[in-house]
Amino acid sequence: MCGIAGIFNFEDAETLVAETLFAIQHRGQESCGIAVRDCRGNISYHKGMGLVKQVLTPENIAKHQGSIAIGHVRYPTAGRSDKVNSQPHVAELPEGPHIAVCSNGDIINYNEIRTWLENEHSFTFRSDNDGELIGRLVAYYLVHEKMTIEEAITETQNKLKGAFSTLLIYRDMMFAFRDPHGFRPFVLGHLNHETGKEIMSDGVVFASESCSFGIVGATFIRELEPGEIIRLERGKPLKVVATAGKNKQHCVFELIYFSRPDGITFDELVYDVRKKIGAKLFDYDKDLGVDKDTVVMAVPDSSNFVALGYAQASPANFDMGLLRNHYVGRTFTKPEQKQRDEGVRHKFNPLPEFFNNKKVVLVDDSIVRGTTLRKIVRMVRGAGAKEIHVRIGSPKVVGSCYYGIDTPTRKELIASKKDVDEICDFIEADSLKYMSVEDFNIILQHPGNFCFACFNLKYQYSPEDFLQKTNAPDNRC
Ligand code: AMP
Protein backbone atom coordinates (compact mmCIF):
# COMPACT_ATOMS: atom_id res chain seq x y z
CA MET A 1 0.00 0.00 0.00
CA CYS A 2 1.26 3.44 -0.81
CA GLY A 3 0.21 7.06 -0.88
CA ILE A 4 0.80 9.80 -3.42
CA ALA A 5 0.58 13.58 -3.39
CA GLY A 6 1.13 16.39 -5.89
CA ILE A 7 0.90 20.18 -5.96
CA PHE A 8 0.88 22.22 -9.14
CA ASN A 9 2.27 25.69 -9.57
CA PHE A 10 2.16 26.92 -6.01
CA GLU A 11 4.87 28.49 -3.91
CA ASP A 12 6.80 26.02 -1.71
CA ALA A 13 5.21 23.04 -3.46
CA GLU A 14 7.95 20.78 -2.07
CA THR A 15 7.04 21.67 1.52
CA LEU A 16 3.33 21.36 0.89
CA VAL A 17 3.77 17.94 -0.73
CA ALA A 18 5.87 16.79 2.23
CA GLU A 19 3.09 17.95 4.56
CA THR A 20 0.45 16.19 2.46
CA LEU A 21 2.51 13.01 2.59
CA PHE A 22 2.77 13.32 6.36
CA ALA A 23 -1.04 13.24 6.55
CA ILE A 24 -1.12 9.97 4.58
CA GLN A 25 1.84 8.39 6.33
CA HIS A 26 -0.43 5.50 7.38
CA ARG A 27 -0.43 4.34 3.73
CA GLY A 28 3.27 3.50 3.80
CA GLN A 29 6.01 3.78 6.35
CA GLU A 30 9.04 2.15 4.80
CA SER A 31 10.25 4.87 2.44
CA CYS A 32 9.19 8.18 0.98
CA GLY A 33 10.32 10.85 -1.44
CA ILE A 34 9.56 13.95 -3.47
CA ALA A 35 10.41 15.10 -6.99
CA VAL A 36 10.36 18.83 -7.69
CA ARG A 37 10.54 20.91 -10.84
CA ASP A 38 12.41 24.12 -10.20
CA CYS A 39 12.12 27.46 -11.98
CA ARG A 40 15.01 26.57 -14.33
CA GLY A 41 13.14 23.52 -15.56
CA ASN A 42 15.21 20.91 -13.75
CA ILE A 43 13.63 18.04 -11.90
CA SER A 44 15.46 17.04 -8.74
CA TYR A 45 14.41 14.55 -6.13
CA HIS A 46 15.05 13.39 -2.63
CA LYS A 47 14.02 10.00 -1.30
CA GLY A 48 15.05 7.60 1.39
CA MET A 49 14.09 4.88 3.81
CA GLY A 50 12.02 5.98 6.77
CA LEU A 51 9.13 8.20 7.75
CA VAL A 52 8.26 11.53 6.17
CA LYS A 53 9.47 13.48 9.20
CA GLN A 54 12.82 11.66 9.05
CA VAL A 55 13.44 11.76 5.30
CA LEU A 56 11.75 14.93 4.11
CA THR A 57 13.22 17.25 6.74
CA PRO A 58 13.30 21.01 6.07
CA GLU A 59 17.09 20.70 5.49
CA ASN A 60 16.68 17.88 2.98
CA ILE A 61 13.93 19.49 0.99
CA ALA A 62 15.53 22.96 1.04
CA LYS A 63 17.73 21.72 -1.83
CA HIS A 64 14.68 20.87 -3.90
CA GLN A 65 12.60 24.00 -4.11
CA GLY A 66 10.02 24.57 -6.80
CA SER A 67 6.39 25.19 -7.56
CA ILE A 68 5.60 21.79 -9.11
CA ALA A 69 6.11 18.74 -6.91
CA ILE A 70 4.99 15.17 -6.45
CA GLY A 71 5.68 12.73 -3.64
CA HIS A 72 5.15 9.22 -2.38
CA VAL A 73 5.04 7.13 0.78
CA ARG A 74 5.70 3.44 0.26
CA TYR A 75 4.91 0.19 1.93
CA PRO A 76 6.60 -2.60 -0.02
CA THR A 77 5.77 -6.28 -0.20
CA ALA A 78 8.20 -8.68 1.44
CA GLY A 79 11.87 -8.49 0.68
CA ARG A 80 12.55 -5.43 -1.36
CA SER A 81 12.32 -2.58 1.06
CA ASP A 82 15.15 -0.49 -0.33
CA LYS A 83 15.88 2.99 -1.55
CA VAL A 84 16.14 1.97 -5.22
CA ASN A 85 12.52 0.85 -5.15
CA SER A 86 11.29 3.97 -3.39
CA GLN A 87 9.44 6.62 -5.35
CA PRO A 88 9.20 9.02 -7.17
CA HIS A 89 11.19 7.80 -10.18
CA VAL A 90 12.83 10.24 -12.51
CA ALA A 91 13.59 9.09 -16.06
CA GLU A 92 15.81 11.14 -18.38
CA LEU A 93 14.68 11.65 -21.95
CA PRO A 94 17.09 12.25 -24.86
CA GLU A 95 15.46 15.62 -25.57
CA GLY A 96 16.47 16.94 -22.15
CA PRO A 97 13.48 17.26 -19.87
CA HIS A 98 12.85 14.53 -17.42
CA ILE A 99 9.76 12.69 -16.42
CA ALA A 100 9.02 12.21 -12.74
CA VAL A 101 6.44 9.62 -11.72
CA CYS A 102 4.89 8.27 -8.59
CA SER A 103 2.14 5.71 -8.42
CA ASN A 104 -0.02 3.80 -5.99
CA GLY A 105 -1.24 0.40 -7.07
CA ASP A 106 -0.08 -2.84 -8.53
CA ILE A 107 0.64 -3.47 -12.22
CA ILE A 108 -0.33 -7.04 -13.03
CA ASN A 109 1.35 -7.24 -16.45
CA TYR A 110 4.59 -5.74 -15.09
CA ASN A 111 6.80 -8.62 -16.29
CA GLU A 112 5.42 -8.60 -19.81
CA ILE A 113 5.89 -4.85 -20.30
CA ARG A 114 9.30 -4.74 -18.68
CA THR A 115 10.61 -7.66 -20.76
CA TRP A 116 9.26 -6.04 -23.91
CA LEU A 117 10.92 -2.69 -23.14
CA GLU A 118 14.22 -4.35 -22.18
CA ASN A 119 14.42 -6.88 -25.00
CA GLU A 120 12.82 -5.04 -27.90
CA HIS A 121 13.78 -1.48 -27.09
CA SER A 122 16.96 -1.74 -25.01
CA PHE A 123 15.53 -0.04 -21.95
CA THR A 124 17.49 -0.34 -18.71
CA PHE A 125 15.65 -0.48 -15.40
CA ARG A 126 17.13 0.66 -12.11
CA SER A 127 14.47 -0.79 -9.85
CA ASP A 128 11.77 -3.45 -9.75
CA ASN A 129 9.12 -0.91 -9.00
CA ASP A 130 5.82 -0.23 -10.78
CA GLY A 131 6.37 3.53 -10.76
CA GLU A 132 9.54 3.23 -12.81
CA LEU A 133 7.78 0.97 -15.30
CA ILE A 134 5.02 3.53 -15.81
CA GLY A 135 7.57 6.33 -16.36
CA ARG A 136 9.57 4.29 -18.85
CA LEU A 137 6.47 3.25 -20.75
CA VAL A 138 5.41 6.87 -21.14
CA ALA A 139 8.98 7.70 -22.25
CA TYR A 140 8.84 4.85 -24.79
CA TYR A 141 5.71 6.24 -26.44
CA LEU A 142 7.11 9.77 -26.40
CA VAL A 143 10.56 8.97 -27.77
CA HIS A 144 10.20 5.78 -29.83
CA GLU A 145 6.67 6.28 -31.10
CA LYS A 146 6.99 10.08 -31.31
CA MET A 147 3.64 10.60 -29.60
CA THR A 148 2.50 13.72 -27.81
CA ILE A 149 2.53 13.50 -24.04
CA GLU A 150 -1.26 13.12 -23.95
CA GLU A 151 -1.13 10.29 -26.49
CA ALA A 152 1.75 8.66 -24.62
CA ILE A 153 -0.17 8.68 -21.33
CA THR A 154 -3.33 7.40 -23.03
CA GLU A 155 -1.37 4.53 -24.59
CA THR A 156 0.29 3.80 -21.26
CA GLN A 157 -3.08 3.70 -19.57
CA ASN A 158 -4.35 1.28 -22.24
CA LYS A 159 -1.33 -0.98 -21.99
CA LEU A 160 -1.22 -1.34 -18.20
CA LYS A 161 -3.34 -3.94 -16.45
CA GLY A 162 -4.04 -3.58 -12.76
CA ALA A 163 -4.32 -0.73 -10.30
CA PHE A 164 -2.65 2.63 -10.69
CA SER A 165 -3.31 6.09 -9.32
CA THR A 166 -0.42 7.98 -10.88
CA LEU A 167 1.12 11.46 -10.91
CA LEU A 168 3.59 12.55 -13.56
CA ILE A 169 5.60 15.72 -14.12
CA TYR A 170 6.61 16.38 -17.72
CA ARG A 171 8.22 19.71 -18.69
CA ASP A 172 6.15 22.32 -16.85
CA MET A 173 3.03 20.21 -16.81
CA MET A 174 1.55 17.75 -14.40
CA PHE A 175 -0.64 14.78 -15.30
CA ALA A 176 -2.79 12.70 -13.01
CA PHE A 177 -4.21 9.44 -14.30
CA ARG A 178 -5.96 6.43 -12.93
CA ASP A 179 -6.72 2.89 -14.04
CA PRO A 180 -10.13 2.38 -15.67
CA HIS A 181 -11.46 0.43 -12.69
CA GLY A 182 -10.46 3.02 -10.09
CA PHE A 183 -9.08 0.45 -7.66
CA ARG A 184 -7.10 2.83 -5.46
CA PRO A 185 -8.37 6.19 -4.20
CA PHE A 186 -7.29 9.43 -5.83
CA VAL A 187 -8.67 12.85 -4.97
CA LEU A 188 -8.40 16.37 -6.27
CA GLY A 189 -8.36 19.55 -4.20
CA HIS A 190 -7.40 23.17 -4.64
CA LEU A 191 -5.47 25.76 -2.67
CA ASN A 192 -7.53 28.72 -3.80
CA HIS A 193 -10.50 27.60 -5.80
CA GLU A 194 -13.55 29.81 -5.95
CA THR A 195 -16.78 27.84 -5.85
CA GLY A 196 -18.71 27.84 -9.08
CA LYS A 197 -15.72 28.91 -11.15
CA GLU A 198 -13.66 26.85 -13.55
CA ILE A 199 -10.87 24.89 -11.84
CA MET A 200 -7.55 26.53 -12.66
CA SER A 201 -4.43 24.37 -12.84
CA ASP A 202 -2.45 26.64 -10.52
CA GLY A 203 -2.96 25.53 -6.95
CA VAL A 204 -4.34 22.07 -7.73
CA VAL A 205 -3.54 19.44 -5.11
CA PHE A 206 -3.72 15.70 -5.69
CA ALA A 207 -3.59 13.06 -2.98
CA SER A 208 -4.55 9.53 -2.18
CA GLU A 209 -6.88 10.72 0.57
CA SER A 210 -8.77 13.92 1.19
CA CYS A 211 -7.87 13.88 4.90
CA SER A 212 -4.54 15.37 3.81
CA PHE A 213 -6.06 18.52 2.35
CA GLY A 214 -6.71 20.22 5.69
CA ILE A 215 -3.05 20.21 6.64
CA VAL A 216 -2.11 22.34 3.59
CA GLY A 217 -5.30 24.42 3.55
CA ALA A 218 -6.70 22.87 0.38
CA THR A 219 -10.40 22.41 -0.37
CA PHE A 220 -11.66 19.01 -1.44
CA ILE A 221 -13.11 19.21 -4.94
CA ARG A 222 -13.73 15.67 -6.13
CA GLU A 223 -12.45 12.17 -6.67
CA LEU A 224 -10.78 11.47 -10.01
CA GLU A 225 -12.95 9.37 -12.28
CA PRO A 226 -11.75 5.85 -13.01
CA GLY A 227 -9.80 6.02 -16.27
CA GLU A 228 -9.50 9.78 -16.05
CA ILE A 229 -6.45 11.66 -17.32
CA ILE A 230 -6.02 15.22 -16.07
CA ARG A 231 -3.56 17.73 -17.50
CA LEU A 232 -2.39 20.82 -15.59
CA GLU A 233 -0.62 23.71 -17.28
CA ARG A 234 0.46 27.05 -15.85
CA GLY A 235 -2.21 29.73 -16.10
CA LYS A 236 -4.66 27.38 -17.81
CA PRO A 237 -7.80 25.66 -16.61
CA LEU A 238 -7.53 22.05 -15.53
CA LYS A 239 -8.08 19.90 -18.62
CA VAL A 240 -9.76 16.52 -18.56
CA VAL A 241 -8.02 14.62 -21.35
CA ALA A 242 -9.96 11.38 -21.00
CA THR A 243 -12.47 9.53 -18.87
CA ALA A 244 -12.13 5.95 -20.01
CA GLY A 245 -13.63 4.32 -16.92
CA LYS A 246 -15.29 0.91 -17.07
CA ASN A 247 -16.61 -1.54 -14.52
CA LYS A 248 -15.65 0.34 -11.35
CA GLN A 249 -13.76 -1.79 -8.84
CA HIS A 250 -13.07 0.46 -5.86
CA CYS A 251 -11.26 -1.35 -3.09
CA VAL A 252 -13.74 -1.88 -0.25
CA PHE A 253 -10.83 -2.59 2.12
CA GLU A 254 -9.92 1.11 1.90
CA LEU A 255 -13.21 1.87 3.65
CA ILE A 256 -12.90 -1.01 6.08
CA TYR A 257 -9.33 -0.41 7.14
CA PHE A 258 -6.85 1.56 5.09
CA SER A 259 -8.20 5.05 4.60
CA ARG A 260 -8.19 7.50 7.45
CA PRO A 261 -11.68 8.00 8.91
CA ASP A 262 -11.50 11.78 8.53
CA GLY A 263 -11.63 11.61 4.75
CA ILE A 264 -13.95 11.01 1.83
CA THR A 265 -12.90 7.94 -0.12
CA PHE A 266 -14.81 6.71 -3.20
CA ASP A 267 -17.42 9.37 -2.40
CA GLU A 268 -18.12 7.77 0.99
CA LEU A 269 -17.50 9.35 4.39
CA VAL A 270 -15.12 6.79 5.80
CA TYR A 271 -16.12 7.22 9.45
CA ASP A 272 -19.78 6.96 8.51
CA VAL A 273 -19.29 3.68 6.65
CA ARG A 274 -17.42 2.29 9.65
CA LYS A 275 -20.14 3.34 12.08
CA LYS A 276 -22.76 1.73 9.85
CA ILE A 277 -20.72 -1.47 9.80
CA GLY A 278 -20.70 -1.40 13.60
CA ALA A 279 -24.46 -0.86 13.79
CA LYS A 280 -24.97 -3.76 11.37
CA LEU A 281 -22.80 -6.00 13.52
CA PHE A 282 -25.04 -5.25 16.48
CA ASP A 283 -28.01 -6.37 14.36
CA TYR A 284 -26.47 -9.84 14.38
CA ASP A 285 -26.27 -9.78 18.18
CA LYS A 286 -29.84 -9.26 19.29
CA ASP A 287 -29.67 -12.53 21.26
CA LEU A 288 -26.25 -11.96 22.84
CA GLY A 289 -27.70 -10.22 25.88
CA VAL A 290 -25.73 -7.01 25.36
CA ASP A 291 -26.76 -4.64 28.17
CA LYS A 292 -25.51 -1.47 29.82
CA ASP A 293 -22.83 -3.38 31.73
CA THR A 294 -21.36 -4.92 28.58
CA VAL A 295 -18.14 -3.29 27.43
CA VAL A 296 -18.03 -2.58 23.69
CA MET A 297 -14.48 -1.77 22.75
CA ALA A 298 -12.25 -1.51 19.72
CA VAL A 299 -8.85 -2.84 18.95
CA PRO A 300 -7.52 0.69 18.61
CA ASP A 301 -7.33 2.60 16.32
CA SER A 302 -8.50 1.14 13.05
CA SER A 303 -11.77 -0.23 14.43
CA ASN A 304 -12.67 2.67 16.74
CA PHE A 305 -15.57 3.87 14.60
CA VAL A 306 -16.89 0.34 14.03
CA ALA A 307 -17.00 -0.24 17.78
CA LEU A 308 -18.57 3.18 18.30
CA GLY A 309 -21.26 2.37 15.72
CA TYR A 310 -21.95 -0.94 17.47
CA ALA A 311 -22.16 0.68 20.89
CA GLN A 312 -24.41 3.51 19.73
CA ALA A 313 -26.83 1.00 18.21
CA SER A 314 -26.83 -1.12 21.38
CA PRO A 315 -27.73 -0.54 25.06
CA ALA A 316 -24.03 -0.81 25.95
CA ASN A 317 -21.46 1.95 26.18
CA PHE A 318 -18.38 2.33 24.08
CA ASP A 319 -15.30 2.08 26.25
CA MET A 320 -11.57 1.80 25.86
CA GLY A 321 -9.93 -1.02 27.72
CA LEU A 322 -6.77 -1.18 25.66
CA LEU A 323 -4.23 1.55 25.36
CA ARG A 324 -2.26 1.84 22.21
CA ASN A 325 1.31 3.06 22.08
CA HIS A 326 1.33 5.41 19.12
CA TYR A 327 5.03 5.20 18.53
CA VAL A 328 4.83 1.60 17.31
CA GLY A 329 3.02 2.31 14.03
CA ARG A 330 1.10 -0.27 12.08
CA THR A 331 2.32 -3.70 13.08
CA PHE A 332 0.88 -5.46 10.06
CA THR A 333 2.84 -3.33 7.65
CA LYS A 334 6.15 -4.59 9.02
CA PRO A 335 7.55 -6.91 6.37
CA GLU A 336 8.65 -9.72 8.72
CA GLN A 337 6.43 -11.83 11.01
CA LYS A 338 8.96 -11.38 13.86
CA GLN A 339 8.63 -7.60 13.62
CA ARG A 340 4.84 -7.94 13.54
CA ASP A 341 4.80 -10.13 16.68
CA GLU A 342 6.99 -7.70 18.54
CA GLY A 343 4.77 -4.85 17.33
CA VAL A 344 1.63 -6.38 18.87
CA ARG A 345 3.33 -6.85 22.25
CA HIS A 346 4.69 -3.35 22.22
CA LYS A 347 1.56 -1.79 20.84
CA PHE A 348 -1.30 -2.66 23.22
CA ASN A 349 -1.69 -2.66 26.98
CA PRO A 350 -4.86 -3.33 29.03
CA LEU A 351 -6.11 -0.79 31.59
CA PRO A 352 -5.62 -2.11 35.14
CA GLU A 353 -8.80 -3.33 36.88
CA PHE A 354 -10.88 -2.47 33.83
CA PHE A 355 -11.91 -5.92 32.67
CA ASN A 356 -12.67 -7.51 36.05
CA ASN A 357 -15.38 -10.08 35.36
CA LYS A 358 -16.81 -8.10 32.46
CA LYS A 359 -18.56 -9.27 29.32
CA VAL A 360 -16.66 -7.73 26.42
CA VAL A 361 -17.61 -7.20 22.79
CA LEU A 362 -14.23 -6.78 21.16
CA VAL A 363 -14.43 -5.20 17.72
CA ASP A 364 -11.74 -5.37 15.06
CA ASP A 365 -11.80 -4.37 11.42
CA SER A 366 -10.47 -7.61 9.94
CA ILE A 367 -8.73 -10.89 10.60
CA VAL A 368 -5.95 -11.71 8.18
CA ARG A 369 -3.50 -14.20 9.66
CA GLY A 370 -5.32 -14.18 13.01
CA THR A 371 -2.19 -13.72 15.05
CA THR A 372 -2.98 -10.19 16.26
CA LEU A 373 -6.40 -11.02 17.63
CA ARG A 374 -5.25 -14.20 19.31
CA LYS A 375 -2.72 -12.18 21.29
CA ILE A 376 -5.22 -9.46 22.11
CA VAL A 377 -7.91 -11.90 23.24
CA ARG A 378 -5.35 -13.54 25.53
CA MET A 379 -4.33 -10.14 26.84
CA VAL A 380 -7.94 -9.11 27.57
CA ARG A 381 -8.74 -12.44 29.19
CA GLY A 382 -5.56 -12.26 31.22
CA ALA A 383 -6.72 -8.83 32.40
CA GLY A 384 -9.86 -10.39 33.89
CA ALA A 385 -12.60 -10.39 31.23
CA LYS A 386 -15.33 -13.01 31.83
CA GLU A 387 -16.55 -13.33 28.22
CA ILE A 388 -15.00 -12.07 25.00
CA HIS A 389 -17.19 -11.85 21.91
CA VAL A 390 -15.20 -10.84 18.86
CA ARG A 391 -16.97 -8.94 16.07
CA ILE A 392 -15.24 -8.24 12.77
CA GLY A 393 -16.12 -5.28 10.56
CA SER A 394 -15.37 -7.15 7.35
CA PRO A 395 -16.16 -10.52 5.79
CA LYS A 396 -13.66 -13.37 6.00
CA VAL A 397 -10.47 -12.52 4.10
CA VAL A 398 -10.08 -15.59 1.89
CA GLY A 399 -8.01 -14.28 -1.03
CA SER A 400 -4.92 -12.18 -1.62
CA CYS A 401 -5.13 -8.72 -3.15
CA TYR A 402 -3.40 -8.07 -6.47
CA TYR A 403 -4.40 -4.46 -6.73
CA GLY A 404 -2.17 -2.66 -4.29
CA ILE A 405 -2.91 -3.97 -0.80
CA ASP A 406 -0.37 -6.26 0.72
CA THR A 407 -2.34 -9.29 1.79
CA PRO A 408 -0.33 -12.42 2.53
CA THR A 409 -0.57 -15.45 0.24
CA ARG A 410 -3.77 -17.50 0.47
CA LYS A 411 -2.20 -20.19 2.58
CA GLU A 412 -1.35 -17.61 5.26
CA LEU A 413 -4.93 -16.35 5.43
CA ILE A 414 -6.59 -18.06 8.36
CA ALA A 415 -10.06 -17.86 6.79
CA SER A 416 -8.95 -19.70 3.67
CA LYS A 417 -8.30 -22.81 5.77
CA LYS A 418 -10.64 -22.56 8.75
CA ASP A 419 -14.36 -21.97 9.20
CA VAL A 420 -15.73 -19.40 11.65
CA ASP A 421 -15.92 -21.85 14.58
CA GLU A 422 -12.35 -22.99 14.00
CA ILE A 423 -11.12 -19.40 13.81
CA CYS A 424 -13.04 -18.64 17.00
CA ASP A 425 -11.22 -21.53 18.69
CA PHE A 426 -7.89 -20.36 17.32
CA ILE A 427 -8.26 -16.82 18.62
CA GLU A 428 -9.67 -18.26 21.88
CA ALA A 429 -12.80 -16.08 21.87
CA ASP A 430 -16.19 -17.03 23.31
CA SER A 431 -17.90 -16.19 20.04
CA LEU A 432 -16.96 -14.72 16.68
CA LYS A 433 -19.01 -13.03 13.96
CA TYR A 434 -18.05 -11.35 10.72
CA MET A 435 -19.81 -8.68 8.70
CA SER A 436 -21.39 -10.34 5.65
CA VAL A 437 -20.54 -9.35 2.06
CA GLU A 438 -24.27 -8.98 1.34
CA ASP A 439 -24.73 -6.38 4.07
CA PHE A 440 -22.32 -4.04 2.29
CA ASN A 441 -25.21 -3.61 -0.17
CA ILE A 442 -27.07 -1.82 2.61
CA ILE A 443 -24.12 0.19 3.88
CA LEU A 444 -22.54 1.50 0.66
CA GLN A 445 -24.24 4.00 -1.62
CA HIS A 446 -23.07 2.18 -4.78
CA PRO A 447 -22.01 -1.33 -3.76
CA GLY A 448 -21.77 -2.42 -7.40
CA ASN A 449 -18.76 -0.11 -7.82
CA PHE A 450 -16.59 -2.03 -5.36
CA CYS A 451 -14.07 -4.86 -5.53
CA PHE A 452 -14.71 -7.56 -2.91
CA ALA A 453 -12.22 -10.03 -4.39
CA CYS A 454 -10.36 -10.69 -1.12
CA PHE A 455 -13.72 -11.72 0.37
CA ASN A 456 -15.49 -13.46 -2.54
CA LEU A 457 -12.60 -14.36 -4.92
CA LYS A 458 -14.34 -12.56 -7.82
CA TYR A 459 -11.24 -11.00 -9.36
CA GLN A 460 -11.21 -8.57 -12.24
CA TYR A 461 -8.28 -10.30 -13.94
CA SER A 462 -7.84 -13.98 -14.75
CA PRO A 463 -5.71 -16.46 -12.76
CA GLU A 464 -3.09 -16.39 -15.56
CA ASP A 465 -2.54 -12.74 -14.84
CA PHE A 466 -1.99 -13.56 -11.22
CA LEU A 467 0.48 -16.26 -12.05
CA GLN A 468 2.52 -13.80 -13.97
CA LYS A 469 2.25 -11.28 -11.15
CA THR A 470 3.33 -13.90 -8.62
CA ASN A 471 6.46 -14.51 -10.63
CA ALA A 472 7.20 -10.84 -10.95
CA PRO A 473 9.94 -9.28 -8.92
CA ASP A 474 8.77 -7.30 -5.94
CA ASN A 475 7.45 -4.38 -7.86
CA ARG A 476 4.40 -3.30 -5.96
CA CYS A 477 3.92 0.42 -5.44
P1 AMP B 1 -3.55 -10.46 11.51
O2 AMP B 1 -4.91 -11.09 11.52
O3 AMP B 1 -2.75 -10.74 12.72
O4 AMP B 1 -2.80 -10.81 10.27
O5 AMP B 1 -3.73 -8.88 11.47
C6 AMP B 1 -4.96 -8.31 11.24
C7 AMP B 1 -4.93 -6.85 11.63
O8 AMP B 1 -4.02 -6.12 10.78
C9 AMP B 1 -6.29 -6.23 11.40
O10 AMP B 1 -6.91 -6.06 12.62
C11 AMP B 1 -6.06 -4.91 10.72
O12 AMP B 1 -6.14 -3.87 11.68
C13 AMP B 1 -4.70 -5.01 10.17
N14 AMP B 1 -4.69 -5.25 8.72
C15 AMP B 1 -5.55 -5.97 8.00
N16 AMP B 1 -5.18 -6.01 6.70
C17 AMP B 1 -4.09 -5.30 6.58
C18 AMP B 1 -3.20 -4.98 5.51
N19 AMP B 1 -3.41 -5.43 4.28
N20 AMP B 1 -2.15 -4.22 5.78
C21 AMP B 1 -1.93 -3.77 7.00
N22 AMP B 1 -2.70 -4.04 8.05
C23 AMP B 1 -3.76 -4.81 7.87
> What is the CA(44)–ligand 1 centre distance, in A?
36
| Architecture in CATH of 3-248 | 4-Layer Sandwich (3.60)
pLDDT at 78 over 50: no
* Any ligand 1 atom below 6 A from CB of 254: no
> What is the CA(228)–ligand 1 centre distance, in A?
31
* DSSP string computed for 210-229: GGGHHHHTPEEEEEPPTTEE
pLDDT at 469: 60
| 133: confidence class by pLDDT, cuts 50, 70, 90 | very high
Report the atom number in ligand 1 closest to the C-alpha of 371.
3
Q: What is the pLDDT of residues 178-229, one digit of tens each?
A: 999 999 999 999 999 999 999 999 999 999 999 999 999 999 999 999 999 9
* Any ligand 1 atom below 6 A from CB of 460: no
* DSSP string computed for 86-127: -S-EEEE-TTS-EEEEEEEEEETTHHHHHHHHHHHH----S-
Q: Domain-by-domain residue ranges, the chain?
A: 3-248, 254-459
* Any ligand 1 atom below 6 A from CB of 426: no
| Average pLDDT value for the chain | 92
Amino acid at residue number 176: A
254-459: CATH topology? Rossmann fold (3.40.50)
Residue 5 CA to residue 338 CA, distance in Å, equals: 31
* Any ligand 1 atom below 6 A from CB of 302: yes
Whose CA is closest to atom 16 on ligand 1? 368
Residue 303 CA to residue 361 CA, distance in Å, equals: 12
In the three-class reduction of DSSP (H, G, I as helix; E, B as strand; rest coil), residue 347 is classed as helix
Q: What is the pLDDT of residues 45-66, one digit of tens each?
A: 999 999 999 999 999 999 999 9
Share of the chain above pLDDT 70, in %: 92
Q: How much is the average pLDDT of 125-130? A: 92
Residue 410 CA to residue 416 CA, distance in Å, equals: 6
Q: What is the pLDDT of residues 36-48, one digit of tens each?
A: 999 889 999 999 9
Q: Are 363 and 303 in contact (CB under 8 A)?
A: yes
Tell me the CA distances in angstroms from 405 to 77, 84, 254, 340, 453, one per residue in order.
9, 20, 9, 17, 12
Q: What is the pLDDT of residues 416-461, one digit of tens each?
A: 999 999 999 999 999 999 999 999 999 999 999 999 999 999 998 8
3-248 and 254-459 share one fold? no
2 is a catalytic site residue: yes
pLDDT at 248 over 90: yes
Whose CA is closest to atom 9 on ligand 1? 366
Give the orientation angle of helix 337-347 with respect to helix 371-382, to 10 degrees.
Answer: 30
